[in-house]
Amino acid sequence: MVPRRRSPFARAPGSSLTALAAALSASLAVACAPEPPPPSLRAEGARLLDEQGREVTLHGINARVEGIFDVTFDDGRLPLQQIPPFTKDDLIFLRDELGINALRLPINWSGLEPDESGSIDAAYLARVDGVLDLCAELAVWCLVDLHQDAYSKEIGEDGAPLWAIQPPPPALLGGPLTNLEERRLSKPVLDAFYTFFSGGAGVQDAFLDLLARLTTHLQDKPYVMGLEVFNEPVGDDLPILGFSQRAIATIHDIDPTRVVVWEPNAIRNLQDTTRTDGGLKQNNDAYAPHLYPEVFSGRRDLWESRDPARLVLTCDNARVEADEHDAPLVVTEFGNAPQFDHGLDWIDRMQHEMDRVRASRFLWVYEEISQGEWGLFDAGRALREPLVDVIARPTAEAIAGTVLSTAVLDDDTLRVTFTGGGTHAVRLPTRGFPDGAAATCDAAAVDVTAVRDSLFAVVCGEDGDADEHTLIVSPR
């Protein structure tokens, strides 16, 4: 073999010209590298997955926000209730001290489209965007929830604009709101629900058109984990399922990457079960029942009995229903009166039961003083320490594999079993983990590495591993 002759113009590898060429090449590679996709979630079967393909669990809370939860009027009627502001400090507190990794943000059709103009109110949308920007800045997932209670603020609490109430109501109601249950069962409210879910008067079509415009606006926004299409729908099961199917198709025609979150008939709140009719079996959607056993069902005594049977039943049924729909189980509301020991015990037990059935969940509610004071603060805005202690808990936020079981023990130890492996993300609240954490993978000690704020990384198993592993993370 004839040796290759070296060019007389070649320089030694360590020369400045070679170094310059290498640096230029590296710079060009970085400049030409594609931008990483914005943080997002997708649903595959019964699992929520992040952009890395890790299985995600949401430990979230609802927050009604001043200027977004639309319960005020511009015609002299008194507001229905006082809605608190929500700031960056609130979100930091929830994320770091409580380990909350998701926010459900109720928004209203009446705020988005107060008149039948076919365009979204820019000032209202800017306020919504302000909260979404906070979530993106602080890396907290946000579920945007098209919310209603008793159909509309004009005849109930919140929801549709006046022009979308068909038939038109005989009278408009104002505040303060003291008779919500009476309003829920009133003829104008029930008639409006019937019109909507039967497809009458073009109201449902108008709402789906709004969903399409909102979907376009939300497209590519980071940390928007999904769009929930209708809070607590009231009507017959089949029309509600049919509407949910239409809503999913409307959104996915514009953005097939968006997780569409939908709820069953609100009567499930009273019965702890509902029909599935074979399941919707859509793509990239999540099933979102509200779980209030012994609060709105069973004895309705806020769990004074301490009998777990109804709590176990509603969680088991929810798991079966989600599986029949072939969708992740995302409980978008659960809660009880935190002023009472039995209410706190209920919240604690429900979290364990939702862990058992592998459900993401959102507590109702962060702060409110007008409806039973269920929030994290009392009327004087003093923090309810016992409630915060119950809510603050570790979460297996993103597991590189398929989760088989999750449990949080009495000492705040997190135990996760899964198949697969790699680098996992765990959310560890400072309340409960003030001195950091220790971890084992299959009983062998592993490092817990801070990623940012209350988020930590732990390696357990290897990528592509099919074996079953157990990860345990405990307070130091």
For the stretch 100-159, pLDDT in tens is: 999 999 999 999 999 998 899 999 999 999 999 999 999 999 999 999 999 999 999 999
> Sorting pLDDT into bands at 50, 70 and 90, what band is 21?
very low
Q: Is the pLDDT of residue 19 over 60?
A: no
State whether 252 and 229 are in the same domain: yes
The domain that holds 451 is classified in CATH as 2.60.40.1180
Closest CA to 424 of 353, 374, 472, 361: 472
pLDDT of residue 34: 60
The domain that holds 359 is classified in CATH as 3.20.20.80
Tell me whether residue 407 is in a domain: yes
pLDDT of residue 35: 67
- Contact between 347 and 338 under an 8 Å Cβ cutoff? The reply is yes
- Environment class of residue 230 by beta-carbon count within 10 Å: exposed (0-12), middle (13-18) or buried (19+)? buried
State whether 127 and 82 are in the same domain: yes
For the stretch 406-438, pLDDT in tens is: 999 999 999 999 999 999 999 999 999 999 999
Q: How many residues does the chain have?
A: 476
State whether 383 and 432 are in the same domain: no
- Contact between 105 and 112 under an 8 Å Cβ cutoff? The reply is no
State whether 302 and 436 are in the same domain: no
Q: How far apart are CA 280 and CA 107, in angstroms?
A: 25
State whether 136 and 112 are in the same domain: yes
State whether 206 and 168 are in the same domain: yes
Buried b (16+ CB within 10 A) or exposed e, 124-141: bbeebeebbebbbebbbb
Over the chain, what is the mean pLDDT?
93
State whether 64 and 208 are in the same domain: yes
For the stretch 169-217, pLDDT in tens is: 999 999 999 999 999 999 999 999 999 999 999 999 999 999 999 999 9
State whether 334 and 230 are in the same domain: yes
For residues 463-474, average pLDDT: 93
Q: How far apart are CA 416 and CA 468, in angstroms?
A: 10
State whether 131 and 246 are in the same domain: yes
Question: Which range, of 271-280, 341-350, 367-376, averages the lowest pLDDT?
Answer: 367-376
Q: How far apart are CA 83 and CA 60, in angstroms?
A: 19
Q: Print the domain residue range for 427.
A: 393-476
Question: Which range, of 27-36, 156-165, 373-382, 433-442, averages the lowest pLDDT?
Answer: 27-36
Of 392, 424, 456, the residue at which a domain comes to its end is: 392
pLDDT of residue 333: 98
Q: What is the DSSP string of 290-334?
A: EE-TTTTSTT-STTTT--THHHHHHHHHHHHHHHHHTS-BEEEEE
- How many structural domains comprise the chain? 2
For residue 347, give both structure tokens.
């919240």
Tell me whether residue 34 is in a domain: no
Of 392, 417, 443, the residue at which a domain comes to its end is: 392
Of 371, 392, 413, the residue at which a domain comes to its end is: 392
State whether 217 and 182 are in the same domain: yes
Is the pLDDT higher at 22 or at 136? 136
Closest CA to 88 of 447, 457, 453, 353: 453
Whole-model pTM: value is 0.93
β-strands 449-452, 414-420 pairing = unpaired
> Sorting pLDDT into bands at 50, 70 and 90, what band is 36?
low
- Environment class of residue 29 by beta-carbon count within 10 Å: exposed (0-12), middle (13-18) or buried (19+)? exposed
Tell me whether residue 9 is in a domain: no
